[in-house]
Amino acid sequence: MKPLSVRNLDMVYQLPKGGSVHALSDISFELAGGRMLTLLGPSGCGKTTLLNIIAGFLGPTSGEVYLGDQKITGPSKDRGMVFQQGALFEWLSVSKNISFGPRMAGKKAAEFRPEVNRLLDIVGLSGFGDKQVYELSGGMQQRVALARCLANDPEMMLMDEPLGALDALTREKMQGLILNLWNDTGKSIVMVTHSVEEALLLGDTVFVMAPRPGRIEKVYELPFAKRALTENSRDIKNSPEFIEVREEILSFIWEMEEEIMGREMA
């Protein structure tokens, strides 16, 4: 898998009625191929903006992003996106959602059908191919979204709070699914989450971002994602070393939130 290289990114949104928002300031980092990066930080610190720039949906005000030696100038099937919810095609069946990319690429049914079945199996939805999207629970819909993303065989999967709308139990199961997908496919993943616990369990690299202007404040390299492939994730979350990092990040984010609230009240 190719490395991601983010170089001196700045993003300033110009507001229609004048004024501007400095959403990202001088963001630079290198991420080796096959890593799982999770992005944490208070609301408005630029997580979605950063993800959208990597996806190529947004052009930065200055700076550059490379995947391997390819400069990112727009969307491409080598970078697949999974959104929080509601991004499936409601009028298509599960199979047709998953095969959307291959069909757009001109592949014939005989070519992609075995692959769709394999993906349904991977995300635990064998036998659900002919269902309509509205017949599925929220967790099942997110499994379809993951499968649809994988169908394009991207180098890198980008996920913006993919589990944010799910109940706690489904969310834990989906965390396990994402970890296994990551391990089995070897793909790079960049995932935004509001859950500190989730970021620490899934991220072998974690960025804690700060707002105004959005920047990377802390970087962690963590062992928990690899451990969770073989150990019980509940036990990992309850281990002293996990709790120590979790509490450190939680108090850091709390302080940032309090400072923001204080500034807004003043």
Q: Which residues bind Mg ion (CB under 5 A)?
A: 48
Among 1, 2, 25, 44, binds ligand ATP (CB under 6 A): 44
Query: Residue 94 carries which side chain, given as an amino acid letter?
Result: V
Which of 48/193 has CB closer to Mg ion? 48
- Of the candidates 190, 209, 201, the one whose C-alpha atom is nearest the C-alpha of residue 23 is 209
Nearest approach in angstroms of CB 29 to ligand ATP is: 16
- Is residue 11 within 8 A of residue 53, CB to CB? The reply is yes
Asked if 43 is part of the footprint of ligand ATP (rule: CB under 6 A), the reply reads yes
Asked if 45 is part of the footprint of ligand ATP (rule: CB under 6 A), the reply reads yes
Which of 47/148 has CB closer to ligand ATP? 47
Query: Residue 51 carries which side chain, given as an amino acid letter?
Result: L
Which of 189/192 has CB closer to ligand ATP? 192
User: Considering CB distances under 5 to 8 angstroms, the limit depending on partner class, which of Mg ion, ligand ATP, none binds residue 101?
Assistant: none
Asked if 60 is part of the footprint of ligand ATP (rule: CB under 6 A), the reply reads no
Number of H helices, E strands in the chain: 10, 10
Judged by CB under 6 A, the stretch of 36-44, 93-101, 118-126, 243-251 that binds ligand ATP is 36-44
Residues in binding contact with ligand ATP, number by CB under 6 A: 13
Q: Of all residues in this chain, which one has the CB nearest to Mg ion in the complex?
A: 48
How far apart, in whole angstroms, are the C-alpha atoms of residue 174 and residue 23?
A: 30
Which of 1/260 has CB closer to ligand ATP? 260
Task: Please return the burial class of 83, using the count of CB atoms within 10 Å of its CB with bins 0-12, 13-18 and 19+.
Answer: middle
Nearest approach in angstroms of CB 186 to ligand ATP is: 27
Asked if 38 is part of the footprint of ligand ATP (rule: CB under 6 A), the reply reads no
Rounded to a whole number of angstroms, the CA Rg of the chain reads 19
- Of the candidates 55, 140, 154, the one whose C-alpha atom is nearest the C-alpha of residue 102 is 154
Q: State the Cα angle at 195 between 122 and 172, rounded to 5°.
A: 35
How far apart, in whole angstroms, are the C-alpha atoms of residue 11 and residue 176?
A: 34
Which of 19/114 has CB closer to ligand ATP? 19
Which of 154/214 has CB closer to ligand ATP? 214
Residue 157 CA: distances (Å) to CA of 36, 95, 103, 137, 212 = 9, 20, 20, 23, 27
How far apart, in whole angstroms, are the C-alpha atoms of residue 103 and residue 199?
A: 34
Asked if 193 is part of the footprint of ligand ATP (rule: CB under 6 A), the reply reads no
Task: Point out which residues bind ligand ATP (CB under 6 A).
Answer: 13, 15, 21, 23, 41, 43-49, 214
